[in-house]
Amino acid sequence: MWLFAGLGNIGREYAGTRHNVGFEVVDLVEQKMERSTGWRGGKGEYYFAKGWRGSDELLLIKPTTYMNLSGRAVRDALQFYKVPKEQLIVIADDLALPLGTLRLRTLGSDGGHNGLTSVIYELGTEDFARLRCGIGSNFHRGGQVNYVLSKFKPDETDTAQAMMERAAVSCFEIVESGIQKAMNLVNLAPEK
């Protein structure tokens, strides 16, 4: 089983914001699975969906803890479903990457992302894969919080949607070909 944890903030007011890219990617993955249970609650501090791609089982989660405590949900899901850490992929937005850029890494720092900080803290390691989705950094000094909680502008929407679609397809590439091969494809893909 693979666990894909999309990071975001729960609540209608956060839907479609830059900080909720992780939620949107796992929603797309759920829609593209061959078979799916659909989204359900009741498993602690996250919504979950289980499904299959061929013979591979995928577990998707969306923490309900809000971004800064996302690690609790990720840790609990790993333990409850007995998923090896090597088969965890955390999907998060990233200010350091231009809008539309994807980066898949098998380990690394939190890069200033509070959700990743929480996951690292709860797992006690930086050694887990993450798929970072570039949201750009077009904000004035001191405007980071408002920026990440804002929706994509009309002229950014197509690029953002294409990136999230590529991210969802990348999740299946990870399952089918392994992280290393997927990294070569995702990280070398042309940026648009």
Residue type at position 140: H
Is 19 annotated as catalytic?
yes
Q: Two tokens at 24?
A: 């949107």
Q: Which is catalytic among the residues 2, 4, 8, 19? A: 19
**Phi then psi for 129, rounded to 5 degrees?**
-75, 145
Q: Give the integer Cα–Cα distance in Å for 158 and 119.
A: 30
Radius of gyration of the chain (CA): 15
DSSP characters over 70-134: HHHHHHHHHHHHT--GGGEEEEEEETTS-TT-EEEESS---TT-HHHHHHHHHHT-S-SEEEEEE
Which residues belong to the active site?
Answer: 19
